[in-house]
């Protein structure tokens, strides 16, 4: 609302400040860089430990920093 107010309620002007020139920036999925075996191992760990990422790291990711 502050941005809209500071641009005298000119929507296109306010949006141009919020959106980069090339358009919206899409976030990439970090798992796209994982191999199929890494993704499978992570899914297995989630089933075993839920969201306890400390246990996942100790049990499944011992070789990675």
Q: How many CA atoms lie within 13 A of 34 on its CB side?
A: 13
42 occurs within a structural domain: yes
Residue 63 forms part of a structural domain: yes
Average pLDDT score over residue span 36-44? 89
Residue 1 lies in a domain: no
Residue 56: inside a domain: yes
Residue 10 maps to a domain: no
Q: Does residue 5 sit within a domain?
A: no
User: Are 14 and 3 a contacting pair, CB within 8 Å?
Assistant: yes
Angle between helices 36-49 and 53-60 (to 10 degrees): 130
Q: Is residue 8 part of a domain?
A: no
Q: Is 36 exposed, middle or buried (0-12, 13-18, 19+ CB in 10 A)?
A: exposed
* Average pLDDT of the chain, as a whole number: 84
Residues in the chain: 65
Name the token pair of 15: 């949006």
Provide the CATH number for the domain around residue 63. 1.10.10.60
Look up the domain containing 59 and give its range. Answer: 34-65
What pLDDT does 19 receive?
82
Predicted confidence (pLDDT) at residue 64 exceeds the cutoff of 60 = no
Domain count, the chain: 1
**Tens digit of pLDDT for each residue in 5-29?**
999 999 988 988 888 777 777 777 7
């Amino acid at each position: 609302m502050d941005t809209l107010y500071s641009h005298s309620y000119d929507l296109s002007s306010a949006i141009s400040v919020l959106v980069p020139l090339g358009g919206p920036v899409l976030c990439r999925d970090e798992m796209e860089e994982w191999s199929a075996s890494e993704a499978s191992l992570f899914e297995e760990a989630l089933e075993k430990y839920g969201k306890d990422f400390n246990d996942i790291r100790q049990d499944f990711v011992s070789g990675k920093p």
